[in-house]
Structure 1
């Protein structure tokens, strides 16, 4: 058994930082640290995803729907559904991707 910590040593002051915390036989668990005001532009994943706020507040937008997710709240998207994220405060987000999705795709979204 191995344990992992999403909230250990978050990386703030660097914009948006995405890093793989663990990979299981069926998913990739990604930690995204977002400084207040940072945006992950509109994008869509090739498979279903879940986004959970572990710390802070993140505005999630998909089409005409917008929600402010607070600590402990989660949202899911089917494959190919466009969405964006904006950090209202310094925030730590847990992103669950399909095993077949690429961390490089997520990291590309963190670049301004």
Structure 2
């Protein structure tokens, strides 16, 4: 019996191993080239690809806001109202001080 890759009569060489190796090598090269092309495409079109994998908002979901978000909005509204009331109070105090100063200056000038 002959060695692996050699026919039994010893005259001709069996090239099936070499052909299988060449085909496997070609497949590996093809896989590498396709992977490289996909990598370049993914870098160029990252946003398009990410848009595919992101979940769109569900249509059937209830439009009710989250309780924590609504609570934050209420607190923010209360803080804004308190701030505006404090500003109005300060403005009124300043106006009263100016009026008393004017009245005092008028009284001093009259005397």
Q: Structure 1 length normalisation: TM-score? A: 0.14
Structure possessing the higher relative contact order (Cα contacts under 8 Å, 6 or more residues apart): 1
Report which of the two structures shows the higher radius of gyration computed on alpha carbons. 2
Greater strand proportion: 1
More helix by share: 2
TM-score, normalising length: structure 2: 0.14
